[in-house]
Amino acid sequence: MKQPTAEAITHLRNRIHIIIEGTDTRLGKLFDIVLLIAILASVGVVMLDSVLYMRLQYGTIFRYAEWFFTILFTIEYLLRLFSAPNRFRYVFSFFGIVDLLSVLPSYLSLIFGGVQYLLVIRILRILRIFRVLKLNTYMQQAGFLASALKTSQQKITVFFLSLVLLVTIFGSVVYVVEGPENGFTSIPISIYWAVVTVTTTGYGDMSPKTPIGQAIASMVMITGYAIIAVPTGIFTAELARNMRPQLNPIACPNCGKFGHAVGADFCDRCGHALHI
């Protein structure tokens, strides 16, 4: 039997890559549409299988359908891996990890029961619809959000570390004041109460009984209201800065306006030429 040449294998890889990743070809569009339908159907099967009376009545059908989608997505994952120009980069990319996690729970369920319900993570693969429908505007807005999160990462990290120290102190103090007789049986349990209180969640499963403990609780609640908006403010400020259009530091020779859009040839205030 004639062995396939390296050129033939490369051609096959390129052909598969165009179909899987390309949306400009008819086969590429068909592949993406079928994939999206399969993703939605597979997530629907997992959800219905979690309903007891549905599982008792249609459990066998759900099981066969689940394995059908698992095998289908496994083949798709292997094809993506085979055709990827940089396999290492694909495996550790966001979609590469999601593609793997969309099939892994089914195989793990052969060893660990109940893991198959984690297959709902397949819903993340629906994000491919942005690429399929070429919703570039939405992707650009998502890029603004991602950039704002990245640039505010250090500030938010410092804030959360400070918050951890704060709830640890509050939890330790209320443990000393209230004690096990009032339900605060340990410092970790007291820290849990502090977290619930400072985030204004208030489950009501624990509450201070002594006047000093209630005073501390009041301080924690007020502190929670004061700091809950901090990470939102940090993120909003970074988002506004990232969405602000980048300006060239050019002054108009006619009206003196400083700062114009990148690539602008005329002043946006008076219309005078910027480059003389």
**Range with the lowest mean pLDDT among 36-45, 136-145, 198-207, 266-275?**
136-145
Question: What are the extents of the domains in the chain?
Answer: 6-134, 153-232, 245-276
Digit-coded pLDDT (tens) for 48-102: 888 888 888 998 999 899 899 989 999 999 999 998 888 888 889 888 888 888 8
Identify whether the C-beta of residue 201 lies closer than 8 Å to the C-beta of residue 228: no
Coil/strand/helix, residue 99 = helix
Q: Which residues pair with 260 in a beta bridge?
A: 248
Q: What is the spatial distance between Cα 255 and Cα 276, in angstroms, rounded to a whole number?
A: 14
In single-letter form, the type of residue at position 196 comes to V
pLDDT at 90: 87
| Residue partners of 252: CB distance under 8 A and separation at least 6 | 258, 260, 267, 269, 270, 272, 274
Q: Provide the token pair at 199.
A: 């985030």
Provide the pLDDT for residue 189.
92
For 197-223, the DSSP string reads: HHTT---SS----SHHHHHHHHHHHHH
CA distances to 7, 77, 157 from 164, rounded to whole Å, are 58, 40, 11
pLDDT tens digits, one per residue of 186-195: 999 999 999 9
- Specify the pLDDT at position 98: 83
CA 241 to chain centroid: 22
Reduced to 3 states, what is the DSSP secondary structure of residue 54?
Answer: helix
Which listed CATH number (1.20.120.350, 1.10.10.10, 1.10.10.60, 3.40.50.880) goes with 6-134? 1.20.120.350
Look at 150 and 168; give whichever has higher pLDDT. Answer: 168
Residue with tokens 């209630």: 214
Q: Topology of domain 153-232, per CATH?
A: Helix Hairpins (1.10.287)
Averaged pLDDT of the chain: 81
